[in-house]
Each structure stands twice: as C-alpha cells, then as structure tokens.
Amino acid sequence: MNSIFETEQAVTSADKTFIKMRGDIVEGNIVAGSKLSEAELSTKYQVSRAVIREAINRLATCHLVERKANIGARVVGLSPEGLVELYQVRESLEGMAARLAAKNMSVDEIGQLKELLNQHYEKVEGSESYYQEAGDVDFHYRIILGSKNSHLISLLLNGIYHLVRMYRVQLGMAGPRVSTAFDEHKNIVSAISNRDEELAEMLMRRHITYSMRNIQTKLTNEKNRR
C-alpha cells in the first residue's frame, strides 16, 4: 500500500479480519454511518462472531466505529465538524512529532528524508500528479516515526491516520496544492535538519492547517454543487 512499512503483520484471524474491515470502511465499501451487524459480518468475512467482535473493538479504538452497549456498533459518520476536530488533533500531535523529530532523528534518517523529497521533486517536475497521496503519507510517516515517541506513533499511525485517509478517499481528495505542499515539506525538512524544534513544529502545524482548509474548501464546493 504505502512504501516504507507494512509493519503490521496479521498473525491471528482477528488481525486479518480487522485489517480487511478497516480497509472496507476507509474505502467506503462499508458505508459511513451504517450499522454493523455482527451476524452479517460473520458470514461475510467467514469467521465466527467472536473474531468479528474483536475486530469491531479494535476499529472502535481507531475511532472508525462507535460502539454502544447492548445496541451495537456503527461506522463513524463523515461531517465537516468531524473533519475539523480530527485535524485539530492531527495538528497538535504532528506538530509535536515534528518537534521531536528535529530533536531525535539521526543524521542518517534526515538524509533519507531529503532523498525522499528529491524523488518527490522529480515527480512534481515531470508533472506526474502521482505525488499527492502516497508521497505525502510517506513523508508524514517518516517524521512521525522520527519522533521516536511510541505513544505518538501509536496514536497517529494506528489511530488517527486511517480516519484521515477515510476522509481523503471518500471525499475524493486529489486536488492541486501539490507544488505548494512540496515547498512546505521542504521547509519542514530544512528545519528538522537544522535541529530547529520550534520552527519544525510551527511549520508542520501550518502545513496541516493549510491542508485542512484545502479539504474544507472542497467539502463546501461539493455541497454547493448539489
């Protein structure tokens, strides 16, 4: 899926089911806001209800579904408000991640990050609009991992990022903002390279804020079109 790491190796049946379901939710195959029937899913994914229940619990910890006792689970709904809330958290956590990355990334890792940036540049130059998704995700992933803070990594990669992807995929975030985003990435790397924690955090926060505004614009345009 995305280049660097397929870290999560599913060993147990619940693992696999969880990952499948998560994909189906993010991609919209299981529609946002819909109710999840354990029995139904059990036949659909060919596993017992026990593993479905475990999968649902894990999805709940990613904030991809919401569970209510004795009532059941529903897929989270997508809304402009939800998007804003999500990005506020993202801004906060990734800002900190950038700060810590500036502090904790090895020179080697920073070198690789610059290398990645060069690859992106070539893609942008060649105006292959490839860039957007995978590249951007890759960039952010490296910085998050560079923070070396396990809590942060877990919250972002196992939690928030799938919801972010869900918004991106289902609201069709392709859009421009490519070259702009590239410059922002470049400046962030520069700050990290200079070990300027403050600046790295600030730039990352701005970068994410801009990105949110970009999505919001599309969201409202989408609305007006109807």
Partner DNA sequence: TTTAGAATTATTGTCGACAAAGTTGCTATT
Partner DNA sequence: AATAGCAACTTTGTCGACAATAATTCTAAA
The number of angstroms, rounded, from the C-alpha of 214 to the middle of its chain's C-alpha atoms is 16
Question: Minimum distance between the CB of residue 95 and a second copy, rounded to whole angstroms?
Answer: 7
Given a second copy, DNA, none, residue 85, with its beta carbon under 5 to 8 Å by kind, binds a second copy
Choices 49-57, 111-119, 135-143, 175-183 (CB under 7 A): range interacting with DNA:
49-57
Choose from DNA, a second copy, none: what does 48 bind? Cβ within 5-8 Å by kind: DNA
Looking at 38, 133, 138, 196, which residue binds DNA (CB under 7 A)?
Answer: 38
Structure tokens at 159: 């939690």
Cα 42 from chain centre: 27
Helix (H) and strand (E) counts for the chain? 10, 3
- Of 25, 26, 30, 36, the residue at the interface with DNA (CB under 7 A) is 36
Q: Which is nearer to a second copy, 30 or 56 (CB)?
A: 56
List residues bridging with 75 in a β-sheet.
65
Contact 101, 146 (CB under 8 A): yes
CB of 130 to a second copy, least distance (A): 31
Residue 20 within binding range of DNA, rule CB under 7 A: no
Question: Among 47, 86, 144, 208, which residue interacts with DNA (rule: CB under 7 A)?
Answer: 47
* Nearest alpha-carbon partner for 207 in 187, 191, 193, 221: 187
Cβ-Cβ contacts under 8 Å for 1 (sequence gap 6 or more): none
The identity of residue 149, as a single letter, is N
* Site residues, DNA (CB under 7 A): 11-14, 35-39, 47-51, 53-54, 67, 69-73
